[in-house]
Amino acid sequence: ASATGTTWQRTDLAGSIAPGGYYLVKQADGANTAAPALPTPDAIGTIAMASTNGKVALVSSTTALSGACPLGADATIVDFVGFGGTANCFEGSGSTPTLSNTLAALRADAGCTDSDNNSADFATDSPAPRNSAAPSNDCGGGGGTDPTDPSGSGSANPASAEVGTDVLFTVDVTPGGNPESTDLTVIGDFTAIGGGNAVAFSAAPGSTSFTANVSIAAGTTPGDKTVPISITDAESRTGATQILLTVTSSGGGGDLTGVVISQVYGGGGNSGATLRNDFIELFNPGTTAVSLDGASVQYTSSTGTSWQVTALSGSIPAQGYYLVQQAAGAGGSQDLPTPDAIGTIAMAGTNGKVALVGSTTALSGACPIGGAASIADFVGYGSANCFEGSGATSALSNTTAALRLADGCTDTNVNSADFTTGVPAPRNSASASKDCDAPPPPVVVVPISSVQGTGNVSPLLGEVVTIEGIVTARKSNGYFVQTPDAEVDADPTTSEGLFVFTTSAGAPAAAQIGNRVQVTGTVAEFTPASAPNQLSLGQLTFATTTLIDTGNPLPAPVLLGVAELDPANPVDFLERYEGMRVAVAELTVAAPSLAGINESQATATG
């Protein structure tokens, strides 16, 4: 049924579902015929389910349910899932998160988790349909008969350490099953860091978390090290894992935990670019500064295996940024803010791979994630063949960068979800800090008339401001906004309109004519190179646009008459109408004016 529906559609099932197995019920096809087909379904229905919110029930009969929330009232219900934030019926305290065309609700632990609470039992992720031919999943409930081996996952703390440092190695063991493991033993081979080849780990009684404290021996060469781990139980079963550690020489890179790549831009100096240089920006969300001595940022092409290295030094401030300048192109008109480190890597403008590494040893291979413990963060952008999580960021351009959401605070280890693309906005260690735990400050909206001021140059030139207005026109490099008629100020000498410059990326989707938008950007004055003697035009640059509402009436155009167009007026008299909608009832051309018009929205008759 729909999220609030009371009429239930049903699909009858047949056959059986094996222990630890799955059963796939196909429903209605969508319009996208190019999408991959499902695995062979075990049953087929025709229900056109909503993609975001709804209700689904497993019922032990073929009688249709009734009512908005039949839970508790119908004993034939075996299981029930309300999905999406608007579902009005669900198991437990809440429904699953809202789904989408690319997200499904997946029960945790491959289907094993069932606390009768939809919000706790399900997460959203890419759809991964399984049918009765898919591998079975033993949930450890004793239903299976085949024994399973013990397994484990390991970590080193710190993950990057100098020669002579004591490192705490931890292995979290999952006991074997059928029967469950007893007398677990964990042994590590530490010869890679100058230790013994059969060092026993210890654990508290009843615990499956095993630890060993081992010192990195003098003479150990810096670089990435692998510590093999063996796990055995009294039932003569064995398992294995490994722990990755980066060894640095004295003064080498320290623990970069928490530091992330917050911005990537490879279009510097290219055609249409404003900035002259490529750059990589780092962000430290922690409350203490982090040393970058001995660390590096590294780059390779989207499918490359040879990594270029830029060594870092100094530290990144608490809740602060660190700017790494890379190669310059032939174009651009603006320098970066003062960089904290300088490299010479010519990054690709659209697709590539960037890593933050706890050493200056070059990475190797097309996708070193998981194989190099020294990698603190990794970003694949565009068509990159390696990335964190399920996908790379969107492709970049000469005018767009990959920007980590929430000013760098969002880090789910999924590049496609953590980043958006937008106008590059590089920040260095002197930039304002960002407290990821602080509530967002209230937005102070500045009237457009205050940005324009009474003179030819804005009194707020160079400041970052937030304005609101109605979109009145769109251009290939931006759009115009104007104060609604009911909100204009009482000063006839201040304009109520303003141009928002977005570069060749064009006006964003939120800036449709008639939309009320909130715009945050830097106040600038622009004089075209083709007309160096004309008065400058006020505008917002490096802008972000947020939609407020749609379908608003446009401000009435100001009628320009003889008084306003009098040649005796001061040269900047029409500044008061800059960026506003205007109309002229009639113009008589008495002689060539040597002027022109290039506004595509303007019309004339006669």
Mean pLDDT of the chain: 89
What's the token pair of residue 493?
Answer: 């000498």
Q: What is the pLDDT of residue 69?
A: 94
**pLDDT tens sequence across 342-376:** 999 999 999 999 999 988 888 999 999 977 667 89
Q: What is the pLDDT of residue 252?
A: 45
595 or 482, which is more confident?
Answer: 482
Residue 53: C-alpha distances to residues 49, 50, 82, 95 (Å): 9, 6, 8, 9
Q: Contact, 307 vs 262, CB < 8 A? A: no
Q: Is the pLDDT of residue 592 over 80?
A: no
* Omega of the bond leading into 39 within 30 degrees of 0 (cis): no
Residues 35, 23: Cα–Cα separation, whole Å: 21
Q: What is the pLDDT of residue 430?
A: 94
Residues 17, 12: Cα–Cα separation, whole Å: 14
Where does the pLDDT of residue 523 fall: very low under 50, low under 70, confident under 90, or very high at 90 and above?
very high
Q: What is the mean pLDDT of residues 153-158?
A: 92
Nearest to 352 by CA among 300, 389, 391, 277: 300
Q: What is the mean pLDDT of residues 144-167?
A: 83
**12 DSSP 8-state letter:** -
Which residues of the chain does CATH 2.60.40.10 include? 151-248
Q: How many other β-carbons are positioned within 10 Å of the β-carbon of residue 215?
A: 16
Residues 175, 185: Cα–Cα separation, whole Å: 11
Q: What is the mean pLDDT of residues 391-416?
A: 93
Q: What is the pLDDT of residue 251?
A: 44
Least confident of 241-255, 366-380, 578-592: 241-255
* Omega of the bond leading into 492 within 30 degrees of 0 (cis): no
Q: What is the mean pLDDT of residues 491-504?
A: 92
**pLDDT tens sequence across 416-439:** 989 988 899 999 999 999 999 988
Q: Is the pLDDT of residue 122 over 50?
A: yes
Q: Which CATH number describes the domain made up of 260-422?
A: 2.60.40
Q: Helix H segments across 311-447?
A: 415-418
> Percent helix, strand, coil in the chain (nearest 5)?
5, 35, 60
* Parallel/antiparallel/unpaired status of strands 537-549 and 497-501: parallel
Nearest to 286 by CA among 437, 163, 390: 437
Which residues of the chain does CATH 2.40.50.140 include? 442-606
CB-based contacts of 202, cutoff 8 Å, min separation 6: 210, 211, 212
**pLDDT tens sequence across 319-337:** 999 999 999 999 999 999 9
User: From 3.40.50.2300, 2.60.40.10, 3.40.640.10, 3.40.50.1100, which CATH number describes the 151-248 domain?
Assistant: 2.60.40.10
CATH 3.40.50.10610 fits 442-606, yes or no: no
Longest dimension (CA), the chain: 105
Q: Is the pLDDT of residue 391 over 60?
A: yes
Q: What is the mean pLDDT of residues 55-73?
A: 91
Residue 599: C-alpha distances to residues 47, 387, 415, 473 (Å): 51, 44, 40, 10
Residues 264, 62: Cα–Cα separation, whole Å: 55
Q: Contact, 345 vs 308, CB < 8 A? A: yes
Q: What is the pLDDT of residue 37?
A: 87
**pLDDT tens sequence across 446-482:** 999 999 999 889 999 988 899 999 999 999 899 999 9
pTM for this predicted structure: 0.41
Q: Is the pLDDT of residue 142 over 50?
A: no
